[in-house]
Structure formats: structure tokens, C-alpha cells
Amino acid sequence: MKRFSGDISLVLGGAAGQGVQTVEALLVQVLKREGYNVFASKEYMSRIRGGSNSTEIRITDTKRRAFVKRIDLLFAMDKGVIPHLKDRISERTLVFGEKEKVGTLANHEIYDVPFTRFANELGNPIFTSTVAVGIALGVLGADLEAFETYLREHFERKGEEIVKKNIEAAQKGYTFGKHLAYDEGIEVHIKREKKVSEELLMEGSEALGLGTLAGGCNYISSYPMSPGTVLLNYLAAHGKPFGVVVDQAEDEIAAINQGLGAGYAGARAVVTTSGGGFSLMTEGVSLAGMIETPIVIHIGQRPGPATGLPTRTEQGDLNLALYAGHGEFPRVILAPGTHQETFSLARHAFYLADKYQIPVFILMDQYLIDSIVSFPKDDLTVKLVEHFIVETKEDYRRYEITKDGISPRGIPGHGTGLVCVDSDEHDESAHITESASVRLLMHEKRLRKSIGITDEALLPTEIGNLKDAETLIVAWGSNRGVLEEALELSGNTAVAGLHFHQVYPLPEKAKKSFKGKKIVVLENNASGQFANVLRLEYGIKVTESILKYDGDPFSVEEVVEKIKALV
């Protein structure tokens, strides 16, 4: 049977440098323009050339934002692909590739598709990606028009000749793909909707970048580290019209200390890194707590310890964010589950950091950062930024004791007062003190901010019918999409889901959702870090954990299986 309907998983595989990501970017863009719902996620090796990488594009009738293990159509660009993905290839998988390049697969037909031969016929192997997209569109039974328009827009500035050649390449591939599908009886039926074609299409990293700008960010100092670098790149590429100062720091220690200097001087600063780089930043987190200077910290998680698996995914740094920095001080940890949440939480992070003068974390991971999806424009709203700074008077004291613990924050040069901050314990005017009574007043003032912070904590998202469910599956961060889909597919009303996008501190109000239920926590780590936070914050005992820590994201299939096994 070669008929696919409603939900298709198309996987592109190849060596680094072969253009897999180019094909992915082109294909999702064109499919979205044609009104298809798409969701793409990728896995790649920590190298610049060679190896074996793949990207999965799901094309579905209803919106999905999760990885499936299943491969329906596999486009293999080189010989490493089949061995690399063999566990995901089933009898139903249709494999396409150039025979002389991809090798063979026992008892499995491989459709010979001349990606490079067509490109070479057009005079340059550079057209391979365009040919490949053309073939894929032909096999899928999609239109070619949107692709031609895209190529025209994209290559216009390179001259008419390049545009012509690319369109020729696309047509050649497309015609070939159409004929192949017809000859082999391949049928693909996926719904197309006009409104989807008008939606926004972006990577998680782009949602993060936009949300950061929406939060009023105008300062970034960071040191490159995968997968955190994406935000540094984004603000370097798009931050100029927003007056964002971009500094590539000599190390992560400098980065966060610069971020705090900028925050002290009234900028809205962010630092971005991954777990390893963040380890170096922890002294700065503690400093933020003491000098009560806002800072937003993005951690793009990847598996550790140490260098770990640099390009893979994990939710292993919740504990790190929770406990980083010596001493006691309030903090907030946010962990978006969707692209829309990534945008709104990035903005929210700057609001919280500024209002409470604290470090606020955004925990993402490689999987969410690199995934691409489309969603309605109205999901992202732009509004003016709320600021919490005051103009100082001559008698200004930076650490004035207040009821809610928040001392009005002045900025040097804004008003007639002096703005002083000190990493030593200090009095209201920031002079060093060793007075025990002042210490108590100051420490309690800082910790008192937690009351307001907890009152404002974001409520988790309910998935399914919580009221009637006996079992509650709890997820956080990037696992929202996979939990939503797996619960829907399992169709068992005795099981519901709860997704936290603020993981610390937890809102008091959500505690009652757990009452009388069997609690299962789903997370991408080995020790159940969020299960521990639930126990810490709510005093809840978690019945079971669904854990994964091999560097890959959860697949819908495996979560469905786990849910079945629970009931």
C-alpha cells in the first residue's frame, strides 16, 4: 500500500554540507505557502562536514508539533542515511535516492531519483537542493507554482539566469516526481487551507528572538555555544533597528557580568548559552541576586555532563538553573512548550526581571530551538514595554527597605541621586556592612520579593479533561506537543495532561489539580528533575516517571505506548 492520508512524515537525510537544511527550509516554506500544516524537527552531528544528519517534516491535516519516529517518505542524499535511520525505516517507508549513492536495503525497494544528475545536466551541482524539493513536491502531489514564486523572489538579486536555471531545476524534479508517483501508485492526501498559507512560519529560535525584542531587550553579551548561540545570531542579524548592542564576550563570565552592568545602567539585557557555558555564569546569577539587577538568561539545553552531546536535546539543566549561584535569593524559571509560548515567555521574562530586579531563566532545548512550525499571526501580539525605573532624587537609596521587598530602581545619570550597588552585604545606600541587624533586614527584603513573584506565577495548561481523569501526566517545556498528540491518539479519558511553562516557582492555585490523581511526570532527563520540583513546591509524590535521556526528543509513538502501559 502506497497511500498516505492526513498525516505524513517526510524525512531528508544526508551528510553535513550536502544541503539537507537548505532543502528543509525550502520545502517547509513552500508547503506552508500552499496551505499545508507543517512541523519540522532535526537532528544533526557535531561536525561541519560529513556524518549523517536528518530532518523530519510532518505534513498534516490538523496542526501537530511533535516528532514521530515513523518515516513515510525518506529522501536519502548519501550512503550514510539508511544505516543511520534503519530503526525508523519500516516496510511502509518509501525510500528515494540516487542508486549509486545510497546503497541498498535488504528486501526494500529504493526509488532511483537523480538529484545530482539533473543538477549536473543543468550545469552545476548547486541545483541539487532545488531538484530535490521539486521531486518531493511532485511525489507529494503539491503544486509547483508556490515554489517557482519563491525561487523568483529568492534569487532575483542574483540575476535572471540563476532564476531561470533554478526554475528549470524545480520543473525537472517536479515532473520526475509526478511521473514516479503515478508509475508507482504513490498517493498522498493532505488537506490544504488558505488560512494556513497566511500564517507565520518560524523556528523556535526565531520565536525566541522576536520575544526577546518584544520584551524590550537592547543588550546582549554572550559567548557562542550550541544550541544557545541562535539568540546571539538572531539579535546580531535583526537587532540593529531596535538599538540592540551586541557583544561577543571573551567568556561566559564576562558575558553575564556585562549583562549586569548593562542592566544597572538601565538597559534590558539578556545572555544566551547552554549548560556548560552557564556553569561559568553562575557567579553572576548570585551577583544579580545580591545587587538586585535584572538579567534574563536563556539556556539552550543539550545533554551533559561536560561537553556531552553538543547537538542533541535534553531537559537536564532544570536543577542547574534552580540551584545556580551561592546564597539565597529569588528567581524565576520559564520553559516554553510551543513557539507562541516561546515568544510570550521571552517577553514576560524581561517584565519579571525588571519588576522584581531578579534573574529570570528561559529554558529551551535543541529540539524546540530547531523545530519549525506555522501558527496564526494573531498568536503574537506586540505591545509597549512596561518599565520599572525611577528618576532619582538627591537622597536616593538604592536598597530602600519596602513592604514588598522591591526597592525603587534608579539608573545612573537619570536624576540627581547616586546609584550604588555592592556585592558585599550592604545597607540601604549600598555601603558595605557587617551589621547582623542590617543583614537580616536586607536578606529578608530580598527574599520578600518571592511573595509577589509566586502570586504572579503562570498557571499550567490543561490538556484533555482533568476533572474526570484518574491519571495526570505532567510535562514541562518542549514536551507539550508530544503529550498533546499522544493523549489525543490514545483516546483514553481516564488520562489527562498538565503542562507547566513556568517551572519555578509554581503557582499555589495549580496544586489542587493534583488531588486524588495518579501522577506521572514526562521529562527528557534521567533523574526526574521536575518531579523533584513538584515534591519541593507542592509536597506531591509522583507515582511514576516517563524519562528519556538518549539525546533524542520523545516520539509520539513511544509516549502513546507509555500511556497504554500505564492504564
Partner 1 sequence: MPANTDMAWCPGCGNFPILNIIKMALSELDIPPEEVVMCSGIGQAAKTPQYLRVHYFNGLHGRALPPAIAIKNSNPSLTVIAESGDGDTYGEGGNHFLHTIRRNPNITNIVHNNMVYGLTKGQASPTSEKGMKTPVQVDGVVLEPFNPVATAITLGATFVGRVFSGDILQAKEIVKQAILHKGYALVDVFQPCIVFNKQNTYQWFKENTYYLDETHEKGNRSKALDIAFNMEKMALGVIYQAAEKPSYETLVRAGAEPLYKTPLDTGALSQLIEGYSK
Per CB under 8 A, residues contacting partner 1 are 33, 198-202, 206, 210, 213-214, 216, 218-219, 221, 238, 240-243, 245-247, 249-251, 253-255, 257-262, 264-269, 283-284, 287, 291, 377, 380, 382-385, 387, 389, 411-424, 430-432
| DSSP state letters, 6-49 | SEEEEEEEEEETSSHHHHHHHHHHHHHHTT-EEEEEEE--SSSS
CA distance 364 to 354: 21
Compute, in degrees rounded to 10, the torsion defined by CA atoms 158, 160, 166, 171: 160
What count of other Cβ atoms lies within 10 Å of the Cβ of residue 318? 25
Q: How far is the CB of 430 from partner 1 (least distance, A)?
A: 8
Which residue is associated with the grid cell 532624587? 393
Q: Using the minimum distance from each CB to partner 1, give the nearer residue, 263 or 460.
A: 263
Q: How far is the CB of 262 from partner 1 (least distance, A)?
A: 4
Q: Using the minimum distance from each CB to partner 1, give the nearer residue, 133 or 496.
A: 133
Q: How far is the CB of 174 from partner 1 (least distance, A)?
A: 21
Q: Using the minimum distance from each CB to partner 1, give the nearer residue, 7 or 354.
A: 354
Q: How far is the CB of 29 from partner 1 (least distance, A)?
A: 8
Q: Using the minimum distance from each CB to partner 1, give the nearer residue, 131 or 442.
A: 442
| DSSP state letters, 458-496 | PPPEEES-TTT-SEEEEEEGGGHHHHHHHHHHH--TTEE
Q: How far is the CB of 290 from partner 1 (least distance, A)?
A: 9
| H/E segment holding residue 359 | strand 359-365
Q: Using the minimum distance from each CB to partner 1, give the nearer residue, 267 or 297.
A: 267
Single out the residue of 332, 229, 324, 219 nearest to residue 280, CA to CA: 324
Q: How far is the CB of 209 from partner 1 (least distance, A)?
A: 9
Q: How far is the CB of 254 from partner 1 (least distance, A)?
A: 4
- Backbone angles phi and psi of 333, in degrees to 5: -125, 120
Q: Using the minimum distance from each CB to partner 1, give the nearer residue, 398 or 499.
A: 398
CA distance 244 to 96: 45
Helix (H, G, I), strand (E, B) or coil at 411: strand
Q: Is 121 exposed, middle or buried (0-12, 13-18, 19+ CB in 10 A)?
A: middle
- Cα 239 to Cα 205, 209, 243, 262: the distances in Å are 14, 9, 6, 16
Q: Using the minimum distance from each CB to partner 1, give the nearer residue, 207 or 522.
A: 207
Q: Using the minimum distance from each CB to partner 1, give the nearer residue, 97 or 325.
A: 325
Q: How far is the CB of 345 from partner 1 (least distance, A)?
A: 16
CA distance 222 to 241: 20
